[in-house]
Structure 1
């Protein structure tokens, strides 16, 4: 919950300070969207009076045997507005209401599921610690933090209930799926390999908001909601806080942080938008099948100019004019030992048999290698040993012992593993939530 806590604290810090730094758009933004500067650096305007929501106080929906009332929904809408700094308007109020109702339904289902685990109880002290940490990050005390919410018509119990459920749910998902979310060494190696190979392509550091059409009532509703969110962010609502509350993308808990995205790995429509966005710019809504994206371009970088590879070799010397029979004999000898060779033993094996030469070629730019070596250096999997390769000097077996992009820091294996674990856990948590929804009896009362 750490990242979400920080963004919530940052959002409320701006409101508590009552500051109003400019966050404006050009008069005629380009089609891809040259809309606003870095949202996280621009706090919103001072808070306005609590909006008045016209809705019945009675039961609006039931989730199994739990009811959601008009009062519950108003409270959640007020909290959503406080956290995101999205100012309610006639146009965006339906989207805020729908998002708040969806959140309440999910929360009711989570509470009901948590009740099945008697040993999973979140104490008042844990909730108090979380509120104190949120307040500290907002630059105030817990008392002032809660008082601010009360001034906006939000009961402290509303925030406490949400925090208690979030902590419990994260503990449940983490405990239940931790073993299934673990990442194998092969998966880490594959991810690092992909990152190294992708380093030669253009890359984009983006924030994303994805409005799921199925969740908000159709593609047109998603488009309308996305337009409203873009307007609100141009006027000052922080991108990360809006992403946390409104986005259906896996990156939502991280404030929409999608990390570095490699050219050609996203939907062509998104790729076209990213190519046109400058650093610090926010896109217009980008419709795709099933929903709408909003992209914030945090940074861009060109692909690495060089690809570095670490090689070791074992070889049989053969003159350029060697006969076909000599080449065939050397090839058969190398092929017979190739399955036994690794990066760790290839040099030892070379010194243990007469007629074999071994060498650690170190780390080299692929473009500077002998032409016969370049294909192996570019395409062979790390840790593998090639088939015999002929050069004017002889016949070689090449062990590819490492590969990275020059000019870009090589990915850290532990960081890659942790990121993959978080992704796996988030995916399993979303499936868990989807299954609970599918099995639940959710009824909306007339007029909702």
Structure 2
């Protein structure tokens, strides 16, 4: 995300939470694509514009368990969202920015109140500095330039540091409290891997997502209208990743909305229909689903290209093409006698312990790359089965299929799938945690 000057070109005097939006039904659009995004928008700077101001009625906006959220607090958070998302404030999108800021402040107050129960959880200034340095690096600039950019936009660095300190502490609390509960079993990982690899031959989509939850954004119509405002801003140049980080309610917000490669049939029908129609580089119009609205950015598409992979081992007796029928029969009988005595785990050790036997680990190969004599075994034999003796120009072989999977482009490893599932569980538990705190809190609008 490159730094961009932003203009607060709308006077929104006396904004209040829940500003009214049009209540008409979502308009019927021609096609799902709203337009193409410029990839350079992530790093290109906007022309500097004269900075104007918006105002809020001075005073208390809301209390959270008797702790005050002031109009100053709300304004600061709105400025932060505008700067980080690089949106251009308009009369139409300021109410949405305000709702987003107010929701973030409520959650932050609840988090701070909960963190007071954990006196040993202290975040140092050095940790805050490291987070700011990471933010500056992500913006492609130095720390000094990053902080100067924020101050130029009216953001107090001391306020930002306390926000970051709370975020770091909350992540640490959630991680420590729910780490054990977020772990996944080997069976879950293997099942997910099977599903992923079996789907590798289907069309795939590299997707960015923004999800707005209706309950947090003023209801279905306000959420749809807010999503349309975001689409308009991104078409005009606001970076998708920056907008996703500030506005999306999906767990992928932490990754700039990056949902990775999705396989055909793995998402809701409305999203699948949109993914089928979008071309690479296009941004969708708002897509209404149960509970909220999605915006999809199609980064890339590809056809599935699955490959059948097997892990194989062998024991061989050398019998050249010139071998006599008696030599072949003797070798065949010896190998037949071994079949019931060996497994994938023991066959190589057995081969090295007996004279006249050669053992080899063939590793993992695409079935199509194997010798023709081995391909049928690789396709049909059960995992762990030992074949009957197989004749090749080199000799007679006992072949074991020790593993089989369907591979494809970017098929993740066991560790990657395990980490992904655990992070999903952790995100779900964290969202449930903050929802429970909200349900138990006394939150009053003033």
- Which range, TM-score by smaller chain? 0.7 to 0.9
**2:436 counterpart residue number:** 435
Instruction: Please tell me whether residue 173 in structure 1 is matched to residue 166 in structure 2.
Output: no
How many residue pairs get matched?
Answer: 389
Residue 101 and residue 211 in structure 1: after superposition, are their counterparts in 2 closer, same or farther (change >3 A)? same
**1:51 counterpart residue number:** 53
Residue 40 and residue 137 in structure 1: after superposition, are their counterparts in 2 closer, same or farther (change >3 A)? closer
Instruction: Please tell me whether residue 272 in structure 1 is matched to residue 292 in structure 2.
Output: no
Instruction: Please tell me whether residue 40 in structure 1 is matched to residue 66 in structure 2.
Output: no
How many Å apart are 1:134 and its aligned residue?
3.0
Q: Are 1:206 and 1:299, in contact at CA under 8 Å, matched by a contact in 2?
A: yes
**1:119 counterpart residue number:** 120
How many Å apart are 1:287 and its aligned residue?
1.0
**2:230 counterpart residue number:** 229
Aligned-residue Cα RMSD (Å) equals 3.5
Q: Are 1:200 and 1:303, in contact at CA under 8 Å, matched by a contact in 2?
A: yes
- Structure 1 range deviating more: 431-440 or 251-260: 431-440
- Structure 1 range deviating more: 212-221 or 119-128: 119-128
- Match of 1:300, SS? strand
Q: Are 2:312 and 2:399, in contact at CA under 8 Å, matched by a contact in 1?
A: no
How many Å apart are 1:217 and its aligned residue?
1.6
Q: Are 1:43 and 1:237, in contact at CA under 8 Å, matched by a contact in 2?
A: no
Q: Are 2:35 and 2:235, in contact at CA under 8 Å, matched by a contact in 1?
A: no
| Whole-Å separation in 1 of the counterparts to 2:226 and 2:343 | 56
How many Å apart are 1:141 and its aligned residue?
4.6
| Whole-Å separation in 1 of the counterparts to 2:151 and 2:52 | 10
**2:25 counterpart residue number:** none
| Whole-Å separation in 1 of the counterparts to 2:140 and 2:352 | 66
Structure 2 residues not aligned, in runs of 5+: 7-28, 316-339, 354-358, 392-397
After the TM superposition, which residues 168-317 of structure 1 pair with which residues of structure 2 at under 5 Å, given as runs? 168-310=169-311
Q: Are 1:42 and 1:236, in contact at CA under 8 Å, matched by a contact in 2?
A: no
- Structure 1 range deviating more: 29-38 or 148-157: 29-38
**2:24 counterpart residue number:** none
Q: Are 1:206 and 1:297, in contact at CA under 8 Å, matched by a contact in 2?
A: yes
| Whole-Å separation in 1 of the counterparts to 2:45 and 2:424 | 30
Residue 47 and residue 168 in structure 1: after superposition, are their counterparts in 2 closer, same or farther (change >3 A)? farther
- Structure 1 range deviating more: 254-263 or 136-145: 136-145
- Match of 2:284, SS? coil
Q: Are 2:306 and 2:406, in contact at CA under 8 Å, matched by a contact in 1?
A: no
Q: Are 1:34 and 1:277, in contact at CA under 8 Å, matched by a contact in 2?
A: no
Compute the TM-score of the two structures, normalised by the length of structure 2: 0.76
Measured against aligned partners, the alpha-carbon deviations of 1:380-432 in whole angstroms (never above 9, x if no partner) come to: 7xxx557x999x99xx99755131425x3542333333223322222221121
| Whole-Å separation in 1 of the counterparts to 2:150 and 2:352 | 75
- Match of 1:33, SS? strand
| Whole-Å separation in 1 of the counterparts to 2:52 and 2:112 | 28
**1:149 counterpart residue number:** 150
Instruction: Please tell me whether residue 71 in structure 1 is matched to residue 72 in structure 2.
Output: yes
How many Å apart are 1:343 and its aligned residue?
3.9
- Match of 1:204, SS? strand
| Whole-Å separation in 1 of the counterparts to 2:222 and 2:228 | 10
After the TM superposition, which residues 355-370 of structure 1 pair with which residues of structure 2 at under 5 Å, given as runs? 365=366
- Structure 1 range deviating more: 304-313 or 189-198: 304-313
Q: Are 1:44 and 1:238, in contact at CA under 8 Å, matched by a contact in 2?
A: no
Q: Are 1:313 and 1:399, in contact at CA under 8 Å, matched by a contact in 2?
A: no
How many Å apart are 1:187 and its aligned residue?
2.9
Residue 110 and residue 410 in structure 1: after superposition, are their counterparts in 2 closer, same or farther (change >3 A)? same
| Whole-Å separation in 1 of the counterparts to 2:148 and 2:378 | 69
Measured against aligned partners, the alpha-carbon deviations of 1:230-254 in whole angstroms (never above 9, x if no partner) come to: 0011111111111011111110111
| Whole-Å separation in 2 of the counterparts to 1:348 and 1:147 | 67
Compute the TM-score of the two structures, normalised by the length of structure 1: 0.75
Residue 195 and residue 87 in structure 1: after superposition, are their counterparts in 2 closer, same or farther (change >3 A)? same
Residue 43 and residue 265 in structure 1: after superposition, are their counterparts in 2 closer, same or farther (change >3 A)? farther
How many Å apart are 1:278 and its aligned residue?
1.3
| Whole-Å separation in 1 of the counterparts to 2:406 and 2:63 | 55
| Whole-Å separation in 1 of the counterparts to 2:378 and 2:133 | 60
| Whole-Å separation in 2 of the counterparts to 1:399 and 1:309 | 7
| Whole-Å separation in 1 of the counterparts to 2:198 and 2:90 | 47
| Whole-Å separation in 1 of the counterparts to 2:157 and 2:94 | 23
How many Å apart are 1:71 and its aligned residue?
1.4
| Whole-Å separation in 2 of the counterparts to 1:128 and 1:363 | 46
| Whole-Å separation in 2 of the counterparts to 1:364 and 1:139 | 42
